[in-house]
Amino acid sequence: MRVYRDPATGAFVPPPAAPAPAATPAGSQPLGVRRFVEVPGTSPAGGVTVDLQGAFQSEVTATVDRDGHVATRCADAPAVR
């Protein structure tokens, strides 16, 4: 997720007209050719939603021990086909 803020006022602002391309470390490959589209929100608060098309999913599990302490664990979800 990326947000843009005016350094002088701290207000959230729209992204620059021509954002810099994301850096890809040498020897690595980009995440693919998926194109995620922002859809304007319909609530009075505005905002946007993005259909991630199954990407960036994790499974979260939680267990409770004898003393009632909760432990959580995240694992990558199986790949969406």
Beta carbons within 8 Å of 64's beta carbon, 6+ residues apart: 70, 71
Q: pLDDT 10s per residue in the chain (81 long)?
A: 677 788 888 888 887 776 555 555 554 445 566 678 888 888 788 788 888 877 777 788 889 999 999 999 887 766 554
Residue recorded with tokens 């905002």 = 47
Domain map of the chain by residue range? 56-81
**Whole-number Å distance between alpha carbons of 15 and 33:** 21
23 and 30 Cβ atoms separated by less than 8 Å: no
Give the separation between CA 50 and CA 8, rounded to whole angstroms. 29
Report field, pTM of the whole predicted structure over 0.85: no
User: Which pLDDT score, from 0 to 100, does residue 29 have?
Assistant: 47
Task: Output the pLDDT for position 30.
Answer: 55
Query: How many other β-carbons are positioned within 10 Å of the β-carbon of residue 55?
Result: 13
